[in-house]
């Protein structure tokens, strides 16, 4: 079953604009991860944020996590046409501080960046 | 290429036939996962191995599905008596303990 729900389901923006995608989940987690998927390169890991972290940056990516609201957001700044892809959040519910690696994915946000 | 390799990339089969997919993980990774993804949905967990031991199976994995990982290296996923509902992308991923998973490009199965 899908735990995460991404919002919006689809997002269309112009190159140079920022894109924000949100993810909500239902159970306690060890960490939350964001993946990108396009037809050319399959599923690619972008960033991991642990349950005791609130914000994380990687290049043009910024992820926030609010465990009290069971939600996360992914911000892509200064978007490029090459960012066009589906973006998925995935939760790892491994207990006791140990990541089990088994992921529960959301349904994804389809991002289209127009040149 | 040292990534996760899956073969074949595409498979078309008739309903009722058996199919087998292969996954070669990144060589030093001791964990290997299988997921299934249907159109418009995120991947759904099927099963995972740590070395050669199969540690967890999803309820999605009916009796017609079997996965193996002999000697803790490559893995195979077999579907017996395929049904049209089995049509999906089958994704394999591998990782070390407590590290993010790297995914292969998947095997797209079409059951006609």
CB within 8 Å: A107 and B40: yes
Return the pLDDT at B22: 98
φ/ψ of A89, rounded to 5, equals -95, 150
Return the pLDDT at A3: 57
Return the pLDDT at A2: 46
CB within 8 Å: A45 and B106: no
- Among residues of chain B, what percentage have pLDDT more than 70? 99
Tell me the nearest-neighbour CA distance from A54 into chain B, angstroms. Answer: 19
A33 inside 8 A of chain B by CB: yes
Return the pLDDT at A1: 40
Residue in A41, A45, A104 closest to B101 by CB? A45
Q: What is the pLDDT of residues B52-98, one digit of tens each?
A: 999 989 988 889 999 999 988 999 999 999 999 999 999 999 998 87
Pairwise pLDDT comparison (A30 vs B83), residue with the higher score:
B83
Q: What is the pLDDT of residues A82-115, one digit of tens each?
A: 999 999 999 998 765 556 678 999 999 999 999 9
Cα angle for residues A90, A100, A32 (degrees, 5° grid): 25
The residue assigned the tokens 């990982």 is B69
Tokens encoding A22: 């949100």
Return the pLDDT at A96: 52
CB within 8 Å: A4 and B91: no
Residues of A in contact with B91 (CB under 8 A): 42-43
């Amino acid at each position: 079953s899908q735990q995460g729900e991404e919002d919006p389901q689809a997002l269309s923006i112009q190159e140079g604009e920022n894109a924000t995608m949100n993810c909500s989940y239902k159970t306690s987690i060890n960490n939350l991860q964001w993946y990108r998927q396009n037809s050319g390169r399959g599923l690619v890991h972008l960033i991991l944020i642990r349950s005791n972290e609130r914000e994380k940056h990687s290049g043009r990516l910024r992820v926030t996590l609010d465990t009290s609201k069971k939600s996360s957001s992914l911000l892509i700044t200064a978007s490029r046409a090459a960012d066009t892809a589906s973006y998925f959040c995935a939760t790892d519910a491994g207990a006791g501080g140990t990541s089990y690696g088994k992921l529960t994915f959301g349904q994804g946000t389809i991002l289209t960046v127009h040149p | 290429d040292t990534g996760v390799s899956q073969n074949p990339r595409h498979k078309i089969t008739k309903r009722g036939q058996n199919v087998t997919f292969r996954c070669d993980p990144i060589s030093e990774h001791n964990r290997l996962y299988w997921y299934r993804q249907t159109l418009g949905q995120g991947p759904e967990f099927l099963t995972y191995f740590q070395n050669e031991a199969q540690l967890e199976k999803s309820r999605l994995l009916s009796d017609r599905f079997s996965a193996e990982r002999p000697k803790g290296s490559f893995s195979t996923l077999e579907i017996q008596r395929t049904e049209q509902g089995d049509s999906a992308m089958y994704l394999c991923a591998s990782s070390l303990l407590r590290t993010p998973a790297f995914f292969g490009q998947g095997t797209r199965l079409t059951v006609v």
